[in-house]
C-alpha cells in the first residue's frame, strides 16, 4: 500500500499562539517553561491533525521556536563564542544582546522565510549539544504517534554558513564536513536506538548548481551516515527545484529514500527517466505543492504517480516541501469568498489531498468521488470569468519600450534632483514604516469590528502621521516618511485596494521568528481602480517643509510575497501589477511628491535556484520595475529598498532597474555587500543600512559612524545615504527613538569629517 508523508507542518499555532507566547517570554512576562508548554501543545495538535488525516510518515523535530537552521546550529554545538555566556543563547543568536550583535539573517532559498546564518571558523568544534530531535521523537511516541524525524542535512548546513567574525572570509565550510558528519552520525544512531523507522535529512542545496567537490562532499557524508549501525532508514529530501546533476548521485547513495519536488521541479520527471530511475530506492514524490494555496489536480497527480512508480522501488506520496509555507486551515476562513475558497487548499486540506492520492495509487476506484470533485474544481476555475479582464490584458499587450525608460540618464536626473531637494551629504532617512503600536492595531480592529467608523479611524491615523512627522523633525532626519500607520502590511495594504486579489483572516505564515505575514492571494487579472496613497502622503507633506517620500511596494515583491495564480506565467501577472502601480507613481508626482520609494526586497529572493533560468527571470523582473517607475520627470527621485539577500551576482541587473537611490540592508553583514557595489562601478546613490532593526539592540552613534566610514572607504561619500536596514514596524518606540537619534548623530559626525571643502 502506498504511504503518505509530509516534510514539515506549520508551527505557529491555529491562533498564532507561538508568536504571543514567545513575545511574552522576550518581554519577561512568561517563563521559558511557559513558552515550552505552548510549544508542546502546538506540536501535539499538529501530530494529531496529521494522524487523523491519515498521514503515514508524520514529521517530528520540524517544530522550532525560531528557525530550523538555528536549531541545527544548537544541535551541533556551533554557537559563536559571543553568545555562550548569554542568559538564553538560542534567542540571543537570533536577536542579539546589548553586547553581541545578532547573527546574520537571510532568505531561505527563494522563499520569503528567513533563516539565521551559521557562523563557522576553521577551529569550530562540533559536538552533539542538544536533545531536541530525540525529545520530540519520544514525546510523539509516548502519545502513540510514530514519527519520522527531520533535520537539515549536513551539506546544506555547511553550504548555507558563513565565516564567523574572527574567521577568514575565504573559509571553505566543506573543510569542516567530516567532524560535522560525525555529530550527525551520533544523532542518526541515537534515533535508531529510540525506535525511529525513517529519518529525513533535508538537502535543498542540491537543487542549486553544484560543483563536483560539493557533490563529492554529499557522497562522503552519506557514505558515513549510511554506515551507522542500527540506524533508521534515511531519506535525503530535496525541494524548491529539480535535482539536476545531483540526481545520479542521489540514486547511488547508500540510503533508502530520495525526496524530489515535482511541483517547483517538474524537470525531475525527465531527469529520472534519463537516470534510469532510482532502482530499489523509495521515492518521496513531492506531488502536493507546499508553497501555494491552490487545490491539487488529483487526476493529473495520479497520472504522474503512475509514471513514477515504474522508476523507483516504492513511491511515497509527499508534500513538495514543508507545509510551513502555507496557512494552516482553510476552515478558519469563513469570510473568504465561497467560489474562490473552493479552488484552494491550505495545510490541513493538503493533508487530505496526500492521503487521498496515497489511496488512489493502489485503487483509484476507492476515491472516485474525490477525483470527480477535484476535476470539477479545476474546470470551474479554468472557466470562471472572474480570472480575466479584457481591459487589463489589452493594456499589457500595448506596452512598448517607451513605457520602460526614464526620459534622461541617471546623472542628468541626479543633478535635477539635487537642485530640487537641496540635501546635505550623507542625507538621513528611514525605510518607511514606524512602530505599529498597540493603539494602532486596536484602531484597526475597531474599524473591522464596526466599533469606529471610517472618519474616526482616519482621524486617529492622521494624528499618528502628525506625531511621526514631528518626531522625525525633532530627531533631525532630512527626508521624512509618513510612518504608514494605516497599513497592515506592505503587500496586503496595496492588494486590498486592487482588483484580482483575495485576502484571509487567519492565513498566517512565518516570515522569521515571531514575525508572521498573511500573504494575499492573486486569483485574477490585476488593476488599480483608484488612487491608494495620495491622501496620506500629501497630508504628511503639508505638515513639514522637509521632503516626504511616497511609499509603494514594487510589482515583483507584490507578486512574490503573495500566493500567485498558477494558471498563467508569473511574468504576465507581474506586468499587470506594474501597470497598476505605475498609475500610483504618476499620481504621486502630480500631487507634488518629490521622492517615491518603491520597495523591492523580493527581487533577489525570487531569483531561480538554477542559473539556467536567471536571464529570463531577471529580464521580466527588471522590466516590471521600470514599467512601474518610468512615468515620471527627471526631478522626481525614485528610491528602492532591498534587504536580507546576497546581491553581488545580480548587480548589473539592479543597475538596469535605473532607480536613483538604492537602500539596502548592510548592518548585520558589517557593510560586506558594498564591496560588490564598488567592483561593479555602481553609479547611483546607495543607502547602506547602519541600524539592524531585526534586533532590539540599540547601536551607538559611534558604532554607526564606523559603519559609515567603512562605507565611505568603498563608495564615493557623495553617493551615500544613511538609513536603517529595514522598516521600523516591528520595533518599539523605546528602541527606535534612541537608535534614530544615534543614527542622525553618526551622520553629522561623519558629514563633518568627510564633507567636501567649499569651492
Residues 590 and 466 in one domain: yes
pLDDT at 473: 98
Does the annotation mark 694 as catalytic?
A: yes
CB atoms within 10 A of CB 754: 15
Burial class (CB in 10 A: 0-12, 13-18, 19+), 539: middle
pLDDT at 167: 66
Residues 470 and 615 in one domain: yes
Residues 270 and 406 in one domain: no
pLDDT at 668: 58
CATH code, domain carrying 421: 3.20.20.210
- The domain in which residue 395 lies consists of 390-754
pLDDT at 654: 85
Residues 8 and 122 in one domain: yes
Burial class (CB in 10 A: 0-12, 13-18, 19+), 454: exposed
Assigned C-alpha cell, 121: 571558523
pLDDT at 213: 96
Q: At what angle do helices 368-383 and 298-309 cross, to 10 degrees?
A: 120
pLDDT at 66: 97
pLDDT at 90: 97
| Residues constituting the chain | 759
pLDDT at 714: 84
The residue with greater pLDDT, 62 or 726, is 62
Closest C-alpha among 286, 278, 287, 285 to residue 255: 278
Phi, psi of 284 (to 5 degrees): -85, 100
Per-residue confidence band for 758, with pLDDT thresholds at 50, 70 and 90: low
Of the listed ranges 96-105, 209-218, 586-595, 676-685, the one predicted with least confidence = 676-685
Chain mean pLDDT for the chain: 94
Query: Of all residues in the chain, what percent carry a pLDDT higher than 90?
Result: 83
| Residue 695 clears pLDDT 60, i.e. is over it | yes
The answer to whether residue 176 is domain-embedded is: yes
pLDDT at 463: 95
CA distances (Å), origin 233, targets 56, 199, 265: 15, 6, 24
Residues 20 and 112 in one domain: yes
pLDDT at 5: 98
Active-site residue, selected from the candidate residues 7, 114, 242, 694: 694
Q: What is the pLDDT of residues 230-249, one digit of tens each?
A: 999 999 999 999 999 999 99
Closest C-alpha among 727, 513, 732 to residue 16: 513
| Residue 169 clears pLDDT 80, i.e. is over it | no
Closest C-alpha among 16, 126, 24, 133 to residue 68: 133
Collapse the DSSP code of 511 into the 3-class scheme (helix H, G, I; strand E, B; otherwise coil) and give the result: strand
- DSSP string spanning 620-640? HHHHHHHHHHTTS-TTSEEEE
CA–CA separation, 138 vs 144, rounded Å? Answer: 10
Residues 511 and 373 in one domain: no
Report the range out of 88-102, 137-151, 597-611, 666-680 with the highest average pLDDT: 137-151
pLDDT at 746: 95
pLDDT at 309: 95
The residue with greater pLDDT, 547 or 725, is 547
The answer to whether residue 735 is domain-embedded is: yes
The answer to whether residue 281 is domain-embedded is: yes
Per-residue confidence band for 284, with pLDDT thresholds at 50, 70 and 90: very high
The residue with greater pLDDT, 676 or 189, is 189
The answer to whether residue 418 is domain-embedded is: yes
| pTM beyond 0.75 | yes
The residue with greater pLDDT, 435 or 489, is 435
The answer to whether residue 647 is domain-embedded is: yes
Could you tell me whether strands 282-288 and 314-319 are parallel, antiparallel, or unpaired per DSSP bridges? Answer: parallel
The residue with greater pLDDT, 414 or 668, is 414
Residues 650 and 727 in one domain: yes
CA distances (Å), origin 174, targets 121, 224, 375, 446, 719: 11, 15, 48, 54, 38
Residues 420 and 296 in one domain: no
Q: What is the pLDDT of residues 509-547, one digit of tens each?
A: 999 999 999 999 999 999 999 999 999 999 999 999 999
Residues 381 and 400 in one domain: no
Per-residue confidence band for 678, with pLDDT thresholds at 50, 70 and 90: low
Instruction: Specify whether the CB–CB gap between 717 and 747 falls below 8 A.
Output: no
Residues 205 and 248 in one domain: yes
pLDDT at 664: 84
pLDDT at 672: 64
Per-residue confidence band for 488, with pLDDT thresholds at 50, 70 and 90: confident
Indicate the residue among 332, 363, 385 that finishes a domain: 385
The answer to whether residue 240 is domain-embedded is: yes
Indicate the residue among 385, 409, 441 that finishes a domain: 385
Residues 422 and 327 in one domain: no
The answer to whether residue 192 is domain-embedded is: yes
CA–CA separation, 262 vs 319, rounded Å? Answer: 9
Residues 674 and 690 in one domain: yes
Of the listed ranges 137-146, 317-326, 565-574, 602-611, the one predicted with least confidence = 602-611
The answer to whether residue 759 is domain-embedded is: no
Indicate the residue among 331, 366, 385 that finishes a domain: 385
Average pLDDT over residues 214-243: 98
Per-residue confidence band for 416, with pLDDT thresholds at 50, 70 and 90: very high
- The angle subtended at Cα 61 by Cα 55 and Cα 64, nearest 5°, is 115
- Number of domains observed in the structure of the chain: 2
Query: Of all residues in the chain, what percent carry a pLDDT higher than 70?
Result: 96
Amino acid at each position: 500500500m502506498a504511504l503518505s508523508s509530509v516534510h514539515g507542518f506549520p508551527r505557529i499555532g491555529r491562533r498564532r499562539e507561538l508568536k504571543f507566547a514567545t513575545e511574552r517570554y522576550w518581554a519577561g512576562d512568561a517563563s521559558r517553561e511557559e513558552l515550552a508548554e505552548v510549544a508542546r501543545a502546538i506540536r501535539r495538535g499538529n501530530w494529531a491533525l496529521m494522524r487523523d488525516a491519515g498521514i503515514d510518515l508524520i514529521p517530528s523535530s520540524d517544530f522550532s521556536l525560531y528557525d530550523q537552521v538555528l536549531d541545527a546550529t544548537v544541535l551541533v554545538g556551533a554557537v559563536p563564542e559571543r553568545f555562550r555566556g548569554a542568559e538564553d543563547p538560542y534567542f540571543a543568536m537570533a536577536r542579539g544582546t546589548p553586547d553581541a550583535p545578532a547573527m546574520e539573517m537571510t532568505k531561505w532559498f527563494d522563499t520569503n522565510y528567513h533563516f539565521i546564518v551559521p557562523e563557522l571558523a576553521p577551529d569550530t568544534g562540533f559536538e552533539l549539544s542538544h536533545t531536541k530531535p530525540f525529545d520530540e521523537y519520544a514525546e510523539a511516541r509516548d502519545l502513540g504517534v510514530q514519527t519520522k524525524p527531520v533535520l537539515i542535512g549536513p551539506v546544506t548546513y555547511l553550504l548555507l554558513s558563513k565565516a564567523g567574525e574572527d574567521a577568514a572570509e575565504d573559509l571553505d565550510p566543506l573543510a569542516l564536513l567530516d567532524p560535522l558528519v560525525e555529530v550527525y552520525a551520533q544523532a542518526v544512531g541515537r534515533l535508531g536506538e529510540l525506535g525511529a523507522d525513517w529519518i529525513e535529512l533535508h538537502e535543498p542545496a542540491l537543487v542549486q548548481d553544484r560543483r563536483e567537490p560539493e557533490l563529492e562532499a554529499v557522497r562522503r557524508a552519506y557514505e558515513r551516515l549510511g554506515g551507522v549501525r542500527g540506524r533508521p532508514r534515511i531519506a535525503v529530501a530535496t525541494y524548491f527545484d529539480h535535482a539536476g546533476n545531483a540526481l545520479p548521485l542521489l540514486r547511488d547513495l547508500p540510503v533508502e529514500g530520495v525526496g524530489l519536488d515535482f511541483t517547483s521541479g517538474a524537470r525531475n520527471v525527465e531527469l529520472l527517466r534519463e537516470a534510469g530511475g532510482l532502482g530499489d530506492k523509495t521515492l518521496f514524490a513531492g506531488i502536493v505543492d507546499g508553497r501555494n494555496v491552490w487545490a491539487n489536480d488529483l487526476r493529473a497527480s495520479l497520472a504522474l504517480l503512475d509514471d513514477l512508480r515504474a522508476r523507483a522501488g516504492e513511491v511515497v506520496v509527499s508534500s513538495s516541501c514543508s507545509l510551513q509555507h502555507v496557512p494552516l486551515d482553510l476552515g478558519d476562513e469563513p469570510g473568504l469568498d465561497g467560489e474562490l475558497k473552493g479552488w484552494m487548499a491550505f495545510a490541513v486540506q493538503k493533508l487530505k489531498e496526500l492521503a487521498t492520492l496515497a489511496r488512489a495509487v493502489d485503487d483509484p476506484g476507492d476515491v472516485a468521488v474525490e477525483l470527480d470533485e477535484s476535476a470539477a474544481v479545476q474546470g470551474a476555475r479554468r472557466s470562471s470569468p472572474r480570472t480575466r479582464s479584457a481591459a487589463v490584458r489589452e493594456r499589457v499587450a500595448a506596452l512598448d519600450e517607451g513605457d520602460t525608460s526614464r526620459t534622461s540618464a541617471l546623472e542628468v536626473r541626479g543633478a535635477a534632483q539635487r537642485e530640487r531637494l537641496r540635501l546635505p551629504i550623507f542625507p538621513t532617512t528611514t525605510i518607511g514604516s514606524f512602530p505599529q503600536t498597540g493603539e494602532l492595531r486596536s484602531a484597526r480592529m475597531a474599524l473591522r469590528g464596526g466599533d469606529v467608523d471610517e472618519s474616526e479611524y482616519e482621524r486617529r491615523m492622521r494624528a499618528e502621521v502628525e506625531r511621526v512627522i514631528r518626531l522625525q523633525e525633532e530627531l533631525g532626519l532630512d527626508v521624512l516618511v509618513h510612518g504608514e500607520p494605516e497599513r497592515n502590511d506592505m503587500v496586503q495594504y496595496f492588494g486590498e485596494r486592487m482588483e484580482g486579489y483575495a485576502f484571509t483572516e487567519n492565513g498566517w505564515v512565518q516570515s522569521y521568528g515571531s514575525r508572521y505575514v498573511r500573504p494575499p492571494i492573486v486569483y485574477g487579472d490585476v488593476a488599480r481602480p483608484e488612487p491608494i496613497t495620495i491622501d496620506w502622503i500629501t497630508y504628511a507633506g503639508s505638515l513639514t517643509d522637509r521632503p516626504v517620500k511616497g511609499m509603494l511596494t514594487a510589482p515583483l515583491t507584490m507578486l512574490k510575497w503573495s500566493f500567485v495564480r498558477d494558471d498563467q506565467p508569473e511574468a504576465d501577472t507581474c506586468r499587470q501589477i506594474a501597470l497598476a502601480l505605475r498609475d500610483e507613481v504618476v499620481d504621486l508626482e502630480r500631487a507634488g511628491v518629490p521622492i517615491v520609494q518603491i520597495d523591492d526586497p523580493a527581487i533577489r529572493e525570487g531569483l531561480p535556484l538554477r542559473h539556467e533560468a536567471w536571464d529570463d527571470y531577471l529580464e521580466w523582473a527588471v522590466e516590471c520595475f521600470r514599467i512601474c517607475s518610468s512615468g515620471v520627470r527627471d526631478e522626481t527621485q525614485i528610491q528602492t529598498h532591498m534587504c536580507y539577500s546576497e546581491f553581488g551576482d545580480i548587480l548589473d541587473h539592479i543597475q538596469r532597474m535605473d532607480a536613483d537611490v538604492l537602500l539596502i540592508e548592510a548592518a548585520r553583514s558589517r557593510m560586506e555587500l558594498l564591496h560588490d557595489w564598488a567592483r561593479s562601478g555602481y553609479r547611483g546613490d546607495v543607502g547602506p543600512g547602519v541600524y539592524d532593526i531585526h534586533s532590539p539592540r540599540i547601536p551607538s552613534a559611534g558604532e554607526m559612524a564606523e559603519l559609515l566610514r567603512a562605507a565611505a572607504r568603498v563608495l564615493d561619500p557623495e553617493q551615500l545615504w544613511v538609513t536603517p536596514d529595514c522598516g521600523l514596524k516591528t520595533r518599539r518606540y523605546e528602541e527606535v527613538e534612541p537608535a534614530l537619534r544615534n543614527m542622525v548623530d553618526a551622520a553629522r559626525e561623519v558629514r563633518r569629517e568627510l564633507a567636501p571643502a567649499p569651492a
